[in-house]
Amino acid sequence: MTWLRAPGPDDDKRSMGVLGVVTGSVRYPGAAVLGVEAAWRTGVGTVRLWAPRRVQDLVLARRPETVCHALDEPPEGVDAWVLGSGQDARERDEALRALLRACLGGGRPAVVDAGALDLVPGHEGPAVVTPHEGELARILGRERDALGDRDAAAGEAARALDAIVVAKGVPTFVATPAGALTTVHPPTHRLATAGTGDVLAGVLGAVVAGSAREAADPGALASMAALAVRLHGAAAALAAQGGRSVTALDVAERLPEAVAAARAD
């Protein structure tokens, strides 16, 4: 199964998946812009954002179809979550911590990045975590230079967190708690630029929201994660054609072509 749904005559914005997003911060508002942009361009039906007003304003300037909520509004009415991109756990206040905890405790599938990774232990629903090498080392309580083989570390983290681990890098490893491992080699190295991880989180959130029931199966969730990594790389390769330099927003803008090509395969 490709996990890339095309709408049919009986579909609407709700049936195509509702993605809840708690990303961005006053310091890093662009992460929310990038993740929301990527989710919309991957094909989700609705995106709902919980964020500070400054973050909301920037997202709405780029994607006015996004539904925005204050951080103190109840986290409900979504099929899946993207949490933590553009946030720093060291700067997190109690209101944001409570919101992230509620999202992770509500039983919905969650894609967890950056500033929410420390809250994953004890999550109630299916979870995918997306650490880079330094974050992966912190999850395992090690120094980065003592991490060892990233594939083995990804599997260890998946077992420790009872979650799918997407260990970002070259290559990217997708590990399950049961020990399955998928290796995804990027078609370009132009993803080595700021913000592309936020784009990946949005792609993965959209894919999961569109098939949220199936995400309860770890094997299916790992398959969705690997698909998102491949779409991310394909979009970057399209943006980099002709040797062009690439920004994260360039990657997000080429996602519709990457999705269409994946559906056609």
> Does residue 100 belong to any structural domain of this protein?
yes
Q: Is 2 marked within a binding site?
A: no
The region that residue 171 occupies, defined by phi over 0 for left and psi between -120 and 50 for alpha, beta otherwise, is: beta
> Does residue 149 belong to any structural domain of this protein?
yes
- The pLDDT, as a whole number, for residue 44 is 97
> Does residue 10 belong to any structural domain of this protein?
no
Domain of 196? 18-264
Looking up residue 145, the CATH number of its domain turns out to be 3.40.1190.20
Q: Is 131 marked within a binding site?
A: no
Q: Is 172 marked within a binding site?
A: yes
Q: Is 236 marked within a binding site?
A: no
- The pLDDT, as a whole number, for residue 8 is 92
> Does residue 3 belong to any structural domain of this protein?
no
Structure tokens that stand for 207 in this block = 């894919």
Confidence of residue 1 (pLDDT cuts 50, 70, 90): low
The rounded percent of the chain whose pLDDT value lies above 70 is: 100
State how many domains the chain has. Answer: 1
Q: Is 197 marked within a binding site?
A: yes
C-alpha distances out from residue 189 to 41, 186, 193, 245, Å: 22, 7, 9, 10
> Does residue 144 belong to any structural domain of this protein?
yes
Write the pLDDT tens digit of every residue in 146-167: 888 999 999 999 999 999 999 9
Over residues 242-260, the mean pLDDT reads: 97
Over residues 26-50, the mean pLDDT reads: 98
- The pLDDT, as a whole number, for residue 80 is 98
Q: Which residues share a beta bridge with 111?
A: 82, 128
Q: Is 169 marked within a binding site?
A: yes
- The pLDDT, as a whole number, for residue 197 is 97
> Does residue 7 belong to any structural domain of this protein?
no
Cis check for the bond before 171: say yes or no (omega within 30 of 0): yes
Confidence of residue 229 (pLDDT cuts 50, 70, 90): very high
Across the chain, mean pLDDT equals 96
- The pLDDT, as a whole number, for residue 264 is 86
Residue with tokens 């072509």: 257
Structure tokens that stand for 19 in this block = 């993605």
Q: Is 8 marked within a binding site?
A: no
> Does residue 157 belong to any structural domain of this protein?
yes
Q: Is 170 marked within a binding site?
A: yes
Distance CA 231, CA 203 (A): 8
